[in-house]
Amino acid sequence: MKLYDYWRSSAAFRVRIALNLKGLEAEREYIHLRRKDQRSDVYLGVNPQGLVPTLIDDNGTRVVQSMAIMEYLDETRPAIYPLMPRDAEDRARVRAVSQAIACDIHPLNNLRVLRLLGNELGLDEDARNEQWYKHWVNEGMEGVEALLNDGGAGQFCHGNTPTMADVCLVPQVYNAQRFGCDLSSFPTVMRINEACLDELAFRDALPENQPDKE
């Protein structure tokens, strides 16, 4: 198995956690996003969307998009550490929390968006951080906190073992903290984030613990 990875990509961070939880080893190739390696012809041959991560399974199957990769890993390795519950209602809840992060927060605050706001639209760093980044973290985390408090959460986002929802939560909290966001209004999010970071599978996947860290 092979993972195209970048230490600071939140989407790759998710897949690193998922692989760790499932005890799967993957060879790594690092795609340097700040140098725009993801737009090279070679990498576009691997991932036509030009984004990180990409997973190549042992049988050659290529999977892109972090949530699709996690569900694929869970469907093809159901016996090892489930990332998704069995019941349809529970699965819907885990997917909803995951998507509340991966669709409603992360896309607004990633590198390419901040670059466009700065380089093309002329927003200064203060406007980008205070009026944009923190706004979406606050609004998004308010929604996630409310979903979590609405039933179903245990020690983790769903019950007492980590699922795909926790795998999405931790990289988002990590990013928000890196940008200096105040997350004290989201006690359930923060409690679960701490519970996750007690687990080696999550800590080992942290950006600062990656070989390509700069």
- Our finding on whether 1 is near its own copies (CB under 8 A) is no
- Name which of 180, 164, 190, 142 is nearest 11 in CA terms: 164
Strand 54-56, strand 2-5: pairing: antiparallel
Residue 99 lies near its own copies (rule: CB under 8 A): yes
Which residue, 104 or 212, has its beta carbon nearer to its own copies?
A: 104
- Which segment (29-37, 126-134, 166-174, 198-206) binds its own copies by CB under 8 A? 126-134
Residue list 53-92, contact with its own copies (CB under 8 A)? 61, 63-65, 67-69, 71-72, 75-76, 88-89, 91-92
Q: Which of 18, 102, 153, 192 binds its own copies (CB under 8 A)?
A: 102
- 167 burial class (0-12, 13-18, 19+ CB within 10 angstroms)? buried
Please report, in angstroms and rounded to a whole number, the separation of the first and last CA atoms in the chain.
25
Neighbours of 32 (CB within 10 A): 15
d(CA 52, CA 106): 14
Q: Provide, rounded to whole angstroms, the least separation between the CB of residue 33 and its own copies.
A: 15
Q: Tokens standing for 79?
A: 């016996």
- Among 34, 149, 185, 200, contact with its own copies (rule: CB under 8 A): 149
* Contacts (Cβ under 8 Å, ≥6 apart) of 20: 200, 201, 202, 204, 205
The contact set with its own copies (CB under 8 A) reads: 44, 48-51, 61, 63-65, 67-69, 71-72, 75-76, 88-89, 91-93, 95-96, 99-100, 102-104, 106-108, 112-113, 116, 120-121, 123, 127, 131-132, 135, 139, 143-144, 146-147, 149-150
